[in-house]
Amino acid sequence: MMRIITGSAKGKKLVSLEGDATRPTSERIKEAVFSSIQFDVEGRRVLDLFAGSGQMGFEALSRGAEKATFIDLSREAMEIVKQNARITGFFDVSHFLVSDWRNYIRKASGREQYDLVFVDPPYAMECCADAANYLAERELIIPGAIVVLESGEEEILMDDPRLAGYSVIKSTHYGKKTFVNILFYEGREATE
């Protein structure tokens, strides 16, 4: 069972998609991520790029984020996200879009900007570094943004040129299969 850990929606129980089509972030990982960024959530504009149930975005909203955009390729998952938006009371500060992550970033370029992004794709996709690069390249994130990458087999190496402009806030692995990298975006020009 997923729930909101703290903030204005503390204790609200969230629903998730039946079956194994999505893999919700574990309570332990969610707690660790938000412990690391707890003083950097309020007032932020959130992008939950592989939303699933939307729990990371709703946790951020509960902790004072300004608004959140939820992107998922699955229509069924997006219906769950909308249901959770109603449960938590954040429907009015949420934007929902069924889309492939690349298409969304391409179309939102020049129109949207975020300063807190959660990237938690299906582990087999191994696209966290690509997503971080594309977010910066298309200027969907601003200097000072925090980008949280949750991956499986994909190893995030900071000397990867796709991660130019990023520095590590925290890098941890949980068990044998989950890596979490919390990155701070300084801007591409800061590293040139």
pTM of the entire predicted model? 0.94
pLDDT digits (tens, 9 = 90+) for 49-98: 999 999 999 999 999 999 999 999 999 999 999 999 999 999 999 999 99
pLDDT at 192 over 60: no
> For the chain, which residues make up each domain, given as ranges?
2-6+28-191
Residue 16 · residue 68 · CB < 8 Å: no
Among residues 151, 187, 154, 183, the alpha carbon closest in space to that of 25 is found at 151
Q: What is the pLDDT of residues 101-122, one digit of tens each?
A: 999 999 999 999 999 999 999 8
| Domain 2-6+28-191 CATH assignment equals 3.40.50.150 | yes
Q: Are strands 166-174 and 178-185 parallel, antiparallel or unpaired?
A: antiparallel
When pLDDT is cut at 50, 70 and 90, the band that residue 174 belongs to is confident
38 pLDDT exceeds 80? yes
Using DSSP, state whether 57 is helix, strand or coil.
helix
Listed in order, strand segments (DSSP E) in 33-101 are: 45-48, 67-72, 94-98
Q: Identify the pLDDT of residue 84.
A: 97
Tokens matching residue 144: 């000072």
